[in-house]
Chains A and B, each alone.
Chain A
Amino acid sequence: MKINSIIINLVIILAAASWSVLATSSPQTFGSGANTDNVSKISTILASPDDYLDKDVTIKGTIVKVCKKRGCWMELTSDKKFQTFKVKVRDGDMVFPMTAMGKTAFATGKIQGFPMTLERTKQYLAYQAEEMQESFDPDSVTEAITVYQLAPHGVTIVD
């Protein structure tokens, strides 16, 4: 009898805890949440990305793409036309919802750079062009590039 009542109490407590966890709020925060006090322009970072490597920065932009399968990355618009910046987490660290597209995100974290070989650069740019449904000539690429992204420890998404 005692065991039954303990279990019933446990169920009630845990159900309440689950409900509070599931309740969504706006703004949505991931990790520690973004530090929105000091926002750097994406165009400024991308103009000289090596100056920002491994430094903690906050960027802001409209979410225009989200990883469909695992929600492990999203792309934010820059203040410069046609420019975006990828925010990428390790799978499962944060899960960005697809329904956040079109909303504004602040992301605080470190800028990372991934230098590519020429062959890898061609593959990467070919994939990008395919995504954009644009034609691509691999021979037009003569230099390897470095891809930059932000590894956030805090993200805040506002409507």
Chain B
Amino acid sequence: MSKSINWFKSVNWLKLNRSLHRDIGYFCIGMTLIFAVSGIAVNHVEDWNPNYDVTQETVTLIGLSDQIEKLDFEQKEFEQWLLAELNLQTTIKAQFWETPNRLKLFSKQNHTLIISPANNEVVIEQVKPRVLLRAANFLHLNEARKAWTYFSDAYAVMLIFLSLSALFMVKGKYGPLGKRGLLIIAGIAIPIGFVVMYSS
């Protein structure tokens, strides 16, 4: 019993706290950046697509309706003609008549060709994943589930440790019991204020 008390007294808790805060802080840099950048991205999901860059271009092709209405219409032949006309180096993986006046073709390079024979128009829609943001959002929104759930939980625990250990980093007038304590109060009061104002 007295041995463990002696050990307890011999540990420099402030120094250990600082070391842990520093090292765990270093470890959390990557994760924090991922979560923060992704947080900004998905916060504005109503204004832009945080995962994909979706572009659309409308092209008028003379003779498009004639190609489709040909008596000997062959899907493969038509696809080859269309891709050549649009100068797209890809192949079609699926097609779907959405309505009698609207045909959709899907390419292997993530193009969707929306064809309106009535007005000889093709809308070329291309979906390109925003590589880094897509990966960050994938992690932030825990799309993977599996082991990532446990890692995220561990990260959350580390954040809790960082915030609480910060209270014991500095003593004196720059510590939490000095004027800087107002910053802690502000950090707690702001979210509470939002809850009071906006939650019903």
CB of A72 to closest CB in B, whole Å: 11
Chain A contacts to B: CB under 8 angstroms: 3-4, 7, 10-11, 14, 17-18, 20-22, 62, 64, 68-71, 77, 81-82, 84, 92, 95, 97-99, 101-104, 132-134, 159
What 7 pairs between A and B have smallest CB-CB spacing? A102-B106, A102-B94, A21-B144, A95-B143, A17-B147, A62-B94, A102-B93
Considering only residues 24-73 of chain B, those with a C-beta below 8 Å from chain A are 24, 27, 45-46, 49, 51-52, 54
Contacts A18-B148, A64-B98, A134-B99: A92 and B52 contacting too (C-beta < 8 A)?
no
| Extra 5 A-B pairs, beta carbons < 8 Å, given A20-B147, A21-B144 | A3-B20, A7-B27, A14-B151, A92-B141, A102-B108
Check B127 against A101 for contact (C-beta < 8 Å): yes
Q: Out of A3, A20, A81, A98, name the residue touching B54 (CB < 8 Å).
A: A98
CB of A71 to closest CB in B, whole Å: 8
Q: B129 interface residue, CB < 8 Å from A?
A: yes
CB of A142 to closest CB in B, whole Å: 22
Check A17 against B151 for contact (C-beta < 8 Å): yes
Q: B100 interface residue, CB < 8 Å from A?
A: yes
- How far apart sit A17 and B148, CA to CA, in the bound complex (Å)? 8
> Given the complex, which residues of B lie within 8 Å of A70, measured CB to CB?
45
Residue of A nearest to B45 (CB): A69
Check A3 against B99 for contact (C-beta < 8 Å): no
Q: Could you show 22 A-B contacts with beta carbons less than 8 Å apart? A: A3-B19, A3-B20, A4-B23, A10-B27, A11-B27, A17-B147, A21-B147, A62-B96, A62-B106, A64-B104, A64-B106, A81-B97, A82-B98, A82-B100, A92-B141, A95-B143, A98-B127, A101-B110, A102-B107, A102-B112, A132-B99, A132-B102
Q: B138 interface residue, CB < 8 Å from A?
A: yes
> Given the complex, which residues of A lie within 8 Å of B129, measured CB to CB?
97-99
